[in-house]
């Protein structure tokens, strides 16, 4: 199949799916010969079952959307990258009833001191019920998220790579690497930094190429223990970038700069590690019997668009940056929470006109900000005199609690405020997990629906009750009369007037059931 894109004019009789607007898709064309060839088998096909794809699948299933996740790898990843879940992601896990299960597998650490690795205490007054960092192996969190999606009814097919697609006004025909074809209404590329979907879409991915690469792996060492300990201590006294630490059962985790920047298609060899260890440490520690070997770069790039017609991008497919501050997985998972309910609304037919486009409007600036803070952190870690002077200055400034807090709020993503127009500061922010009548707020969001918290007891969600829950007299902790929450926990409206509420219910949740029917 030709993997170029076919797009078309909006279909005037397609009342449910108001997807395209003129000028929305560059180079509008008529449906190609492949359009309508296969029946719609799924509502959404997701390319990639990493953390982003798994969360998106689960979020869509909360709304009964027929989801298929295609994952090119036959087995889950074997290499253990320990990632940090930051406060906002931990909150989102609590919001879907997943946190207890995840906490069992992670280690809680203080939610401070990780901006450019500048050692500082946790800032005072972080506005969350979950003020910690959760260290957890990436394969474990991915497994838990995938299990959650499957439990909710998502299908996952392993050993199945997306190799091409065509889109038309009714759906997307997805071509698999084995030559098979599938058809769905939407396709979402959650297929990582080298995203096939993004490349086939022709979406630009501007930014800075990798300047350095790092080798990381787990292996046995042949050198005597005393020699290892002494050598590691000696190198840590210098500013050489290197890490070597025991990982249990005689295995060591080795992190060392690569000799240069390659195309990273091929994994590194043990010989690459030996060579670099000799260059950095003066010995290769007798490394042998590797468990896994990998490499990563420090490229920084952001997709120009997150959506072209019926095809969308999320997670690393949309943005990449160095792992400083541990934000990539968090950012992707949060993309998926933002997109899930909106795409579900589109599929179910109740999405207001521009809802799906708010995904890019809200998430692109967030990614821009994350890319900027990682650029800043990279500079602050440089050993050059200029950046070192800036680092000393910032270290001093971070003694001011508000400066420290602002930086931690940025990395933990609890400082995000989407632009919903003029209004109180709370509008557009997420609400923390407060005590409410009969339990905790986030327990009321497990089903991924909207929620009206009404302290006046006078308002009603009326014709939107199939999409929005209601709680009267919720809590004294809320210092405003009423709050409308979106399924991702962001505050969509604050007020006390029924008509004004209904305008905002329409804005976010479409027409009331009687009109919609
Ligand atoms: C050393 C290191 C440390 C890190 N530490 C942290 C941290 O502490 N915190 C944090 O938040 N982030 C961290 N990250 C970043 C994090 O690992 C990534 O941001 C995260 O994995 C992105 O998730 P994703 O689901 O978007 O993409 P991926 O995890 O890359 O998943 C993409 C999936 O798509 C599949 N795929 C690819 N192409 C196709 C195709 N054509 N068809 C079907 N399937 C396909 C792949 O096999 C893969 O399973 C770190 C990264 C590195 C390198």
In a domain, residue 433? The reply is: yes
- 35 C-alpha to ligand 1 centroid (Å): 32
Residues 350, 472: one domain?
no
Q: Is the CB of 332 under 6 A from ligand 1?
A: yes
Domain that holds residue 234: 213-297
Residues 309, 336: one domain?
yes
Q: What's the pLDDT score for residue 261?
A: 87
CATH code, domain with 287: 3.30.70.2450
The ligand 1 atom at the shortest distance from the C-alpha of residue 84 is 8
Q: What's the pLDDT score for residue 516?
A: 62
- 278 C-alpha to ligand 1 centroid (Å): 30
CATH code, domain with 441: 3.40.30.120
Residues 179, 317: one domain?
yes
In a domain, residue 236? The reply is: yes
In a domain, residue 275? The reply is: yes
* 503 Cβ neighbours under 8 A, 6+ residues apart: none
Q: Is the CB of 326 under 6 A from ligand 1?
A: yes
In a domain, residue 412? The reply is: no
Given 380, 413, 447, the domain boundary residue is: 380
Q: Is the CB of 71 under 6 A from ligand 1?
A: yes
Q: Mean pLDDT in runs of 10 for the chain (517 residues)?
A: 29 33 35 54 97 98 98 86 92 98 95 91 94 94 97 97 97 96 97 97 96 92 92 86 86 92 81 95 94 91 98 98 93 98 97 96 98 96 93 97 96 97 96 92 97 95 96 84 97 97 97 79
Given 297, 314, 336, the domain boundary residue is: 297
Residues 251, 183: one domain?
no
Rounded CA-CA distance 53/75 in Å is 16
In a domain, residue 385? The reply is: no
- 286 C-alpha to ligand 1 centroid (Å): 31
Residues 246, 369: one domain?
no
Residue 454, strand partner residues: 472, 482
Q: Is the CB of 296 under 6 A from ligand 1?
A: yes
Residues 314, 197: one domain?
yes
Pocket test for ligand 1, best of 75, 316, 337, 413 (most atoms within 8 A of CB): 316
Residues 150, 55: one domain?
yes
Q: What's the pLDDT score for residue 263?
A: 67
- Atom 31 in ligand 1: residue holding the nearest Cα: 50
- 304 C-alpha to ligand 1 centroid (Å): 20
Residues 187, 265: one domain?
no
- 401 C-alpha to ligand 1 centroid (Å): 33
- 107 C-alpha to ligand 1 centroid (Å): 21
Rounded CA-CA distance 459/453 in Å is 10
Q: What's the pLDDT score for residue 3?
A: 32
Radius of gyration of the chain (CA): 24
- 47 C-alpha to ligand 1 centroid (Å): 12
Q: Count of domains in the chain?
A: 3
Q: What is the pTM of this model?
A: 0.91
Q: Is the CB of 192 under 6 A from ligand 1?
A: yes
Three-state SS letters, 338-358:
HHHHHHHHHHHCCCCCCHHHH
Q: Considering only CA atoms, which of 364, 365, 344 is closest in space to residue 355?
A: 344
In a domain, residue 82? The reply is: no
The ligand 1 atom at the shortest distance from the C-alpha of residue 296 is 53
Residues 460, 514: one domain?
yes
- Atom 29 in ligand 1: residue holding the nearest Cα: 50
Please count the other Cβ atoms lying within 10 Å of the Cβ belonging to residue 261. 15
- 332 C-alpha to ligand 1 centroid (Å): 9
Q: Is 336 helix (H, G, I), strand (E, B) or coil?
A: helix
**β pairing state of 181-189 and 311-313:** parallel
Measure the N-to-C terminal CA separation of the chain; round to a whole number of Å: 39
Residues 62, 170: one domain?
yes
Helix axes 225-236, 270-281, angle to 10 degrees: 60
- 258 C-alpha to ligand 1 centroid (Å): 20
CATH code, domain with 47: 3.50.50.60
Q: Is the CB of 81 under 6 A from ligand 1?
A: yes
- 259 C-alpha to ligand 1 centroid (Å): 23
**β pairing state of 450-454 and 319-320:** unpaired
In a domain, residue 114? The reply is: no
Residues 224, 265: one domain?
yes
The ligand 1 atom at the shortest distance from the C-alpha of residue 193 is 30
Given 297, 331, 349, the domain boundary residue is: 297
Q: Is the CB of 106 under 6 A from ligand 1?
A: no
In a domain, residue 491? The reply is: yes
Residues 248, 375: one domain?
no
The ligand 1 atom at the shortest distance from the C-alpha of residue 51 is 25
72 secondary structure, DSSP code? S
Q: What's the pLDDT score for residue 250?
A: 86
Q: What's the pLDDT score for residue 17?
A: 39
């Amino acid at each position: 199949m030709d993997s170029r894109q076919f797009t078309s004019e909006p279909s005037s009789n397609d009342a449910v799916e108001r997807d395209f607007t003129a000028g929305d898709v560059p180079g509008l064309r008529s449906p190609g010969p492949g359009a309508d060839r296969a029946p719609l088998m799924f509502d959404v096909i997701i390319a990639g079952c990493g953390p982003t794809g798994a969360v998106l699948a689960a979020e869509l299933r909360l709304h009964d959307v027929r989801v298929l996740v295609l994952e090119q790898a036959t087995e889950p990843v074997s290499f253990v990258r320990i990632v940090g879940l930051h406060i906002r992601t931990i909150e989102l896990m609590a919001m879907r009833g997943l946190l207890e299960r995840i906490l069992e597998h992670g280690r809680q650490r203080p939610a401070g001191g990780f901006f450019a690795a500048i050692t500082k205490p946790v800032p005072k007054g972080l506005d969350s019920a979950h003020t910690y960092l959760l260290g957890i192996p990436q394969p474990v969190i991915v497994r838990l998220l995938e299990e959650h999606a499957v439990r909710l009814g998502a299908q996952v097919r392993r050993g199945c790579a997306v190799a091409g697609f065509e889109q038309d006004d009714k759906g997307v025909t997805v071509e698999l690497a084995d030559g098979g074809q599938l058809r769905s209404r939407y396709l979402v590329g959650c297929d990582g930094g080298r995203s096939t979907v993004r490349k086939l879409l022709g979406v630009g991915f501007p930014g800075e190429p990798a300047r350095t690469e790092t080798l990381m792996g787990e292996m046995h060492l042949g050198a005597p223990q005393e020699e290892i300990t002494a050598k590691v201590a000696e190198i840590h006294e210098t500013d050489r970038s290197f890490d070597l630490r025991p990982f249990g059962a005689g295995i060591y985790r080795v992190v060392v700069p690569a000799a240069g920047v390659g195309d990273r298609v091929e994994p590194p060899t043990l010989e690459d590690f030996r060579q670099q260890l000799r260059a950095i440490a003066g010995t290769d520690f007798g490394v042998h019997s590797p468990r896994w070997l990998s490499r990563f770069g420090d490229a920084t790039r952001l997709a120009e668009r997150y959506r072209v017609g019926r095809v969308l991008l999320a997670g690393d497919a949309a943005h990449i940056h160095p792992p400083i501050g541990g934000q990539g997985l968090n950012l992707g998972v949060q993309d998926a929470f933002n997109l899930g309910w909106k795409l579900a609304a589109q599929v179910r037919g109740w999405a207001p006109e521009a809802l799906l486009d708010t995904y890019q409007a809200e998430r692109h600036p967030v990614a821009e900000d994350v890319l900027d803070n990682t650029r800043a952190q990279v500079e602050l870690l440089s050993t050059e005199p200029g950046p070192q002077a800036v680092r000393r200055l910032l270290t001093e400034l971070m003694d001011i609690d508000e400066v420290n807090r602002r930086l931690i709020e940025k990395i933990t993503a609890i400082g995000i405020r989407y632009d919903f127009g003029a209004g109180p500061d709370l509008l557009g922010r997420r609400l923390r997990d407060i005590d409410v009548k009969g339990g905790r707020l986030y327990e009321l969001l497990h089903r991924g629906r909207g929620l009206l918290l009404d302290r006046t007891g006078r308002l009603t969600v009326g014709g939107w009750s199939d999409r929005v829950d209601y709680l009267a007299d919720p809590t004294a902790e809320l210092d405003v009369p009423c709050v409308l929450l979106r399924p991702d926990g962001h505050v969509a409206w604050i007020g006390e007037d029924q008509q004004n509420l209904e305008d905002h219910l329409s804005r976010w949740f479409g027409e009331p059931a009687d009109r919609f029917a």
